[in-house]
Structure formats: structure tokens, C-alpha cells
């Protein structure tokens, strides 16, 4: 894999994914190195000034009124990082930490932070060596940046604390750095603040979630098409002219996907015409474009926020292009927190409508001729009865996770930091929400595939048949009750790997 080059401009979402998930190495561009040197010269000029400058020769937060003499400033930076590396709880996922470090490096490379070149190079070297600091679940209020998570990374650059090496072995940072030939950094004026005063954890989780949601929402369209088909629903409501009456782009895309997925279905053809007495399908079938589409439009909004944040240089104080050192509030995570919360709301609602479609398969009053609970011998067998319980439990959890974290605030730092974003918490909740949505979609797909099989001898559309057949490579078709847990996990793997979408697209071409 080619290394990701970090320059003075923004890294892309694809760059974040390459480094965070695929382990790509990182290099600084020549232009970035030159800009880092220029801004460092500004800081070093201020370091000798008898006037106090925040972050250079003062304490921090509520302690910013104290002037720190030059002989204590190395201690000041070291103490800042050590004291702020105060997280608690389980370790945060490797991909989130790598995304966070890359995004912090991107801001360092902009030349707006005033760090030394060797400090920026140390971050690039750690990422390239696969060294991942241990970051804890709790510790960020999403204001003044993701302080505790970023401080844990800065601690590792100093050669302190614990890290996981490229083989995922937990070991002391000093030992891992030495093994990789990386010299620990002794932080100088301004550098401690520059390494911890960013929104990088929130942004990294937003970029990863947007990518994952794009896939799971396309898969939700696939599962919905299979449900409409196997429940003998109508595709007439997905007509382009009807959708155009309400011109939301996401809605139009979902309806187009449903039309493509259902094209050529013998099951759909079997109940067209005057002999079909049903006028309208239930909302969970009929309104799939409206609900899935609204979620897609929410992702588009969130991607807009992410793109702006990727182009940002977050620090306090910041070195302006004309050489001023200015305090600011750009570290506040509100823009990211709102977007993260909005996505969790959308994920919960798509999961909710998917679970309702799953439930319809299991009720003989609503499934139009399918056996109770899709069981081989109802009463002896329970079929997919408890799979729906699992989906319902997840949906209930997603509704709780959709309670916005960003509407909360709690004052800190002796009331200096008296309004915070809780954006990190929103990001943590969203990651669980994306996982939960994927599981609910997997259960719908598993159930709908069984429903399609039970409609034989009628055959489904070529696209939905391809999806069902792909699932059948890992999960057997209808029959007496089996251990269902592994089948749900196989369906989940089919969803998150992109296998279900790929199977559909082998017939339809690229879905929207």
C-alpha cells in the first residue's frame, strides 16, 4: 500500500480509512515540513519575550494567569500531558486511535500549531510503525479538544504509558519506540497544547461512521427489497414519477435501488392485476424510500461537516499565517457533536423500520401464507421467533443511544470551560449504533431470504436471488430449527463485508 502523504492541506476521508483500517504508512510532504519550521520560528521568538503568551509561557485553562519561567517550561509541557492523560475505562478501538493521530498530524502539518518538526515526524513514524497508544473510553468532554485521548497519544510520543505494537502486543511505550527506532520527544514550548487541543477523535469517528453507514444503508435497501418481495408487497409505489413529487435526493436513490432490485421478479408478477385485493402495503414496506432516503440525506449532511473539519486547523492558541498567536474557540466540538447525534437518530430509525419488516414475516395474520415464524413445523419448531426478539432488543438499545449527547454540558476547569459539547460521547454512541443497525439489517436479510425460499416454486428477482444465494453459501435454507446464533453472525459478516451489496450489484450494476 502506498503511504499517505500529509501536506498543508486536508487529508481525505479515504486517507483516514487507509491509515486507520488498512495500516497505511504516513509521510510528511516537503511543503508541510517547511511550514512547520516557519511557524515554530514564531513560537521560539515568543519564548524569549518577557510578556506572557498563553501556551508558550503560561499555565493552562484556569491556571493561565501564571507566568512560567523558561527553565520550567519543559516541565510544564510534560506535566500538561501527564495530567491530561487521565482517561478511564476500556481501550478505544485501534482504528479510532490511528484516525485520531493522523488527523492531529494533519493539523500539525498545517503550520498553525507551532510544533517542532521532530515532533510531527514522531507522529508519522509511530503511525508507520503500527504503534497505537492505549486510549480509554472516558475522558473527553468534546471541548478544549479531545483532551484525555489526545494526551494519551502525546504521552506515548514522550516514551511514557502503554501502547500496542504492530502485533497488537501491549507493552511500554519506551520499549515499543526503541524497537521501532523512534526517539522519544521531549516537548518544548507550546507543543503540549498543540498535541491535545483538537477535535480529532470526534472527527475520526465521524469519518469512519459515514463510510460504514453508506454501505449498511445500501444493504438495508437490499433487505427491504427482499422483504417487499417475499411479503407479496407492491413495487408500484416506488415509481420514479411518484417519488419525484417529493424531490429528496436520498428518497429518489432508494426508490431507484428498489426498482432495480425487484426487476424481473416472478414473485412480484404472481400477484399483479385485478385479482390482487390489497390496495396499500404497510408503512414499513411502502415508506422504505422515505425513511432510508432521509437517513442517506443525513449522511450527506454529516459528510459535509466532516469535509469542513478535515480542512480545519484546530488548536488554541493558533499561529496565524501572518505570524500572530491568537486564542480562539475552534476546539469546541458542537459542529461534530450535532452531526454524530443526527446520524445516531437516523441509524435508530432505519433499524426500527427494518425490525418491523422482519416481524411481519413471523405473523400468519400479516405474512400472506407463510408458516408461523417461518418454522418448518410450527409448535415443534420456533423458526425465526427469537431472531426478531434480538432485533427488537437492539432497536430498543438504539433508541436509547439516539438520545443526543450534544444537548448535555457540564462545567469544568473551575468554570473556565463552562460549556462543553460532549461530542466524543456522541461518537462513542454512534459507533455502537452503526454496529446495532448492521445486526438488525442482517436479521432482516436472513429472515427475508428464508421467506423467498418458502415462496417456491415462484422465483425471486435475479438480483434478490443472487443475494439469497450468496447467503446460502454460509447459511442453509429452511428446515428444522438449528442453532441460530452462528447464522445471524454469518449474515452480519455478509452485510459488513459488502458481500450482500456486491451480490446484488452483480445483477443490477452499481446501486445508488
Catalytic residues: 54
Report d(CA 391, CA 382) in Å as an integer: 16
Helix (H), strand (E), coil (C) string for 151-203 = HHHHHHHCCCCEEECCCCCEEEHHHHHHHCCCCCCCCCCCHHHHHHCCCHHHH
Per the CB < 8 A criterion, the answer to whether 350 and 220 are in contact is yes
Instruction: Report the distance separating Cα 150 and Cα 140, nearest Å.
Output: 9
The angle, 0 to 180 degrees and rounded to 10, between the axes of the packed helices 94-109 and 147-157 is 80
Quick one: cell of 225?
Answer: 427489497
How many Cα neighbours within 13 Å face the side chain of 249? Answer: 7
Cβ contacts of 308 within 8 Å, gap of 6 or more: 335
Residues contacting residue 15 through CB under 8 Å, at least 6 positions apart: 4, 24, 102
Measure the CA–CA gap between 152 and 149, rounded to whole angstroms: 5
Handedness of CA 460, 449, 235, 246 (dihedral sign): negative
36, 115 contact by CB (below 8 A): yes
Query: Angle 462-472/485-496 helices, nearest 10 degrees?
Result: 130
Can you tell me the distance from the alpha carbon of 410 to that of 404, in angstroms, rounded to the nearest whole number?
Answer: 14
DSSP bridge pairs for 28: 6
Instruction: Let me know the angle formed at the C-alpha of 499 by 498 and 503, rounded to the nearest 5 degrees.
Output: 120
Query: Residue 487 and residue 471: Cα distance in Å, rounded?
Result: 10
Pick the closest to residue 67 from 82, 55, 78 (CA basis): 55
Contacts of 399 by beta carbon, 8 Å cutoff, 6+ apart: 348, 352
Amino acid at each position: 500500500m502506498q503511504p499517505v502523504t500529509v501536506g498543508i492541506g486536508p487529508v481525505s476521508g479515504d486517507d483516514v480509512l487507509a491509515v486507520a483500517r488498512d495500516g497505511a504508512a504516513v509521510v510528511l510532504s516537503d511543503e508541510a515540513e517547511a511550514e512547520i519550521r516557519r511557524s515554530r520560528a514564531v513560537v521560539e521568538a515568543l519564548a524569549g519575550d518577557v510578556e506572557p503568551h498563553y501556551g508558550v509561557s503560561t499555565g493552562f485553562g484556569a491556571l493561565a494567569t501564571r507566568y512560567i519561567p523558561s527553565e520550567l517550561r519543559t516541565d510544564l509541557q510534560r506535566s500538561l500531558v501527564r495530567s491530561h492523560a487521565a482517561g478511564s475505562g476500556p481501550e478505544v478501538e485501534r482504528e479510532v486511535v490511528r484516525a485520531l493521530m493522523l488527523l492531529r498530524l494533519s493539523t500539525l502539518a498545517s503550520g498553525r500549531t507551532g510544533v517542532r518538526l521532530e515532533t510531527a515526524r514522531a507522529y508519522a513514524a509511530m503511525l508507520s510503525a503500527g504503534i497505537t497508544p492505549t486510549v480509554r473510553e472516558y475522558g473527553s468532554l468534546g471541548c478544549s479538544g479531545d483532551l484525555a485521548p489526545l494526551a494519551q497519544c502525546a504521552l506515548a510520543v514522550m516514551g511514557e504509558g502503554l501502547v500496542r505494537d504492530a502485533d497488537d502486543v501491549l507493552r511500554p511505550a519506551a520499549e515499543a519506540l526503541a524497537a521501532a527506532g523512534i526517539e522519544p520527544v521531549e516537548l518544548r514550548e507550546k507543543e503540549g497544547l498543540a498535541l491535545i487541543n483538537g477535535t480529532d477523535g470526534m472527527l475520526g469517528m465521524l469519518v469512519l461512521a459515514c463510510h460504514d453507514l453508506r454501505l449498511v444503508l445500501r444493504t438495508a435497501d437490499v433487505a427491504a427489497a427482499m422483504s417487499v418481495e417475499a411479503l407479496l408487497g407492491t413495487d408500484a409505489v416506488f415509481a420514479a414519477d411518484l417519488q419525484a413529487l417529493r424531490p429528496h435526493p436520498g428518497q429518489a436513490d432508494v426508490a431507484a435501488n428498489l426498482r432495480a432490485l425487484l426487476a424481473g421478479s416472478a414473485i412480484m408478477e404472481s400477484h399483479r392485476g385485478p385479482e390482487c385485493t390489497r390496495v396499500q402495503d404497510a408503512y414499513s414496506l411502502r415508506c422504505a424510500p422515505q425513511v432510508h432516503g432521509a437517513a442517506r440525506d443525513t449522511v450527506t449532511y454529516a459528510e459535509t461537516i466532516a469535509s469542513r473539519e478535515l480542512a480545519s486547523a484546530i488548536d488554541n492558541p493558533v499561529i496565524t499565517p501572518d505570524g500572530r498567536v491568537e486564542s480562539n474557540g475552534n476546539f469546541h466540538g458542537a459542529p461534530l457533536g450535532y452531526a454524530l447525534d443526527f446520524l445516531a437518530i437516523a441509524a435508530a430509525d432505519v433499524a426500527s423500520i427494518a425490525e418491523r419488516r422482519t416481524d411481519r414475516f413471523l405473523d400468519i395474520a400479516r405474512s400472506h401464507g407463510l408458516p408461523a415464524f417461518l418454522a418448518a413445523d410450527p409448535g415443534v419448531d420456533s423458526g425465526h421467533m427469537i431472531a426478531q426478539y434480538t432485533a427488537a432488543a437492539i432497536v430498543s438499545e438504539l433508541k436509547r443511544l439516539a438520545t443526543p449527547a450534544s444537548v448535555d454540558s457540564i462545567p469544568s476547569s473551575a468554570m473556565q470551560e463552562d460549556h462543553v459539547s460532549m461530542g466524543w460521547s456522541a461518537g462513542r454512541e454512534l459507533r455502537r449504533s452503526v454496529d446495532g443497525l448492521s445486526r438488525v439489517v442482517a436479521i432482516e436479510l436472513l429472515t427475508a431470504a428464508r421467506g423467498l425460499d418458502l415462496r417456491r416454486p415462484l422465483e425471486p428477482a435475479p438480483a434478490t436471488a443472487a443475494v439469497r444465494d450468496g447467503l446460502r453459501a454460509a447459511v442453509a435454507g429452511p428446515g428444522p430449527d438449528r442453532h441460530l446464533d452462528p447464522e445471524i453472525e454469518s449474515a452480519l459478516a455478509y452485510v459488513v463485508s459488502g458481500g450482500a451489496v456486491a451480490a446484488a450489484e452483480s445483477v443490477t450494476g452499481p446501486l445508488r
